[in-house]
Each structure stands twice: as structure tokens, then as C-alpha cells.
Chains A and B, each alone.
Chain A
Amino acid sequence: MEKSIESIWKDGFQNDKGMSAPKVNDIYNKKSIHIIEKFEKMFTVNIWGIVIVSSLLFITSYFTGALFAGSIVLTMMLYVAYTAYHELASLKKIDKSQNSYTFLRSFKDWINRSVDRYGKMYRIVYPVLILSFYIGIWFSNTFTDVREIVAANSDALFFGLHIYTTIFVIIIAIIMSVFSKSIHRGDVKTIYGRILKKLDMALAEMEELSH
């Protein structure tokens, strides 16, 4: 006689091996790898973003007669991309065979070290970029009319630059240099905020789990 689904179910589960519960260990294994892989992906996209944007700026600078400033911007941004590439290589060296907690802790330490290093690097990069942009735009072909109007109406010129505007830009550059770490930290939060939040949550849960 054909068995009903109720009896198949009842009989089938009598002392069956398929009922043994899997071990509950290293729960965060997949999650932690997923977090870091996502971060690596975004980080790589950002490196390419820097390379592409700086190349476009360089091409634009060539056509607008601001090649010198464009070259400085390109050099600076490629330096940032090169540093990021090395940072990414060091991130990939984190030992994936560690337990999830140590793995994520190492990742968190890497982020903190990286933010610190970038903060120091941007102390120079930010002001150089701002001044290059300013000088580049000011002396570019597209600003010829503006330059002429300013020269005709103001005595406050220094090597063709409007003194007060220049002082203002220099002050901005100095402020950005002083607060480079905080600005960079804000950038990181904006770009990677969601992943970093997940990371902190996972670490907090794992710490709680181990107690």
C-alpha cells in the first residue's frame, strides 16, 4: 500500500543520521570574509576611480592651457593611487586562516593604520592639490577674460595672481592640511561607512558571544 506523507515523515525520522545537528562554531567565518571582500572590491574601484579622474583632469588641463598644474595634480593623484595599491596588497596579506574574530580585528587594525597613514599623506596632498587647481584654473585659457578684468580693476596683484583671493586659497589649503586626518576620516566614513558599521557590529557581537 502506498504510504501517506505523514507516515513517510514519521518513519523516516526514526533514528536518522540526517538529523545530527551541525557544529555551531566559527559562525562569522563567511560573514567576515564577505565584509573584507566587499571592502577590497570598493577599494579597488576607488583606486581605478582616482586613476581615471586624474587622467581626465590631465587631458582637460592640456586643452585649457594648464598643463603644468595638470601634471602636478596627475602626479599627486597617481601617488595616492600607488599608495592605495600598496595598502590593498598589504590588506590581502591578512591571514584568512585565523579565526574570524582575529581576522576581523586584523582588518580593523589595518583600517586604523591606513587612515592614519593617509591622514599624514594628505597633509601634503590636500594643499598641493588645492593650490595646483587654483593656479591652474587662474592661468588657464578659459580664465583669460577674468584675469584681464581683474588686472584692469585691481592693484592687488602678485605675479599675476589676485592677492586677496590667493591669501584666501592659501588659508583654505592650510586649514585642510591641519585637519587632513579628520577630513580623510570623514571621507572614509562616507565611502565605506556601511561596511565599517557592519564590521563594528560583527566584532561587538563576537566579543559578546565569547563571554
Chain B
Amino acid sequence: MSSDFYSSSILPYAAIIIKICRAYTNTQEDFEDYYQEVCLQIWKSRNNFRGQSEWSTWVYRLTLNVSLTLLKKQKKSHSQISDEMLPEIPEEPGVFEDESLNQLYSAIRKLSEVDRGVILLYLEEKSYQKIAEIIGTNPNNIGVRIKRIKERLKKLLDGKVY
């Protein structure tokens, strides 16, 4: 991967890639693996970008798909080992300076895999249309879904749901 490609096509979207990867990982090591894999997949799949959507939309979608795939792989490899053999990986202390943000991330990680993607895009102020386009769902359902996710997040943050 040329540094030109990285600087021009990935780095401007690094913030959202980082935010998404953080939502799907519990440890710094996993986060770095996810980030690298996303960058690699963007580079490998760059010729598949047909220009039918914006580059940023394509990058978000790919980041979500890679994160979901890696999470699935991780779950699969964990399920092959009995629970007794594998201690649960504890969530590392928050990486952000803002403690409220750490708590919000911790709550987001408790959501379903797709809901995590939806709420991240919502918080990044993407329109319902864009979120639906990235997630691959009907835009009419997005509003209701976001409302439901926000209620759950609020409960999680208030400590009512574990």
C-alpha cells in the first residue's frame, strides 16, 4: 500500500474507522488488528469501488463489514474452546480522556453488532438515508431503530441494564 493511497484515501476517514473499530473491540491489541485489517481491505478492494456511492460511504460500509467479519471469526474461534479453558477477555480501561465517553463506549459494546453500527453512524450525524445505505436496510425503519437503541443506551448508562 503506497503511503500516498493511505494519506489520501484512508487517513481522512481514520477518525470514523477508529470509532467503529473501538466499538467492536475490547482491547488495544484487538483494536489495532481491526484497524490494520480495515486499511488492508480498503486497499485490496479499492478496485471494487464503482463510484455509485461516495468514497466515504463505501469506507464506512467496508469498515463495518470487516469489523463484523472479524468479530464473527473471533466468536467462532472462542466457541471451539470450552468456557472453562477460555477466561472471558475483560474490557480494558477506557482509552479516552473523557470518562463519560468511555462509559458510552462500554454501553455501545453491549448492543447487538448491527445496532452498534447504526448508533455510531447516527452519532456521526449521518442522515437516515445514508445510514440505511451503509447498513443496507430500509431508511423508514432507521428512525424507530435509533430511538430504541438510544433508550437502551440510556438504560445501560444509568446502570439499569447489565
Contacts and interface: CB of A to CB of B under 8 A. Distances in A.
Interface of A: 3, 5-6, 8-9, 11-13, 16-19, 21-22, 24, 27, 30, 205, 209
Contacts, number: 64
Interface residues of B, number: 33
B100 A22 contact: no
B114 interface: no
B1 interface: yes
For the complex of A and B, the 10 pairs showing the least CB-CB separation, nearest first, are A12-B101, A12-B98, A18-B95, A18-B96, A22-B32, A21-B14, A9-B123, A8-B100, A8-B104, A27-B36
Given A18-B96, A27-B39, A5 B101 contact: no
Contacts of A209: 1, 43
A5 B150 contact: yes
Secondary structure of the B contact surface, majority rule: helix
Interface of B: 1, 6, 11, 14-15, 17-19, 22, 31-33, 35-37, 39-40, 43-44, 94-98, 100-101, 103-104, 123, 150, 153-154, 157
Contacts of B22: 18
B37 to A, nearest CB: 8
Contact of B123 (A3, A5, A27): A5
Contacts of B35: 21-22, 24
B128 to A, nearest CB: 15
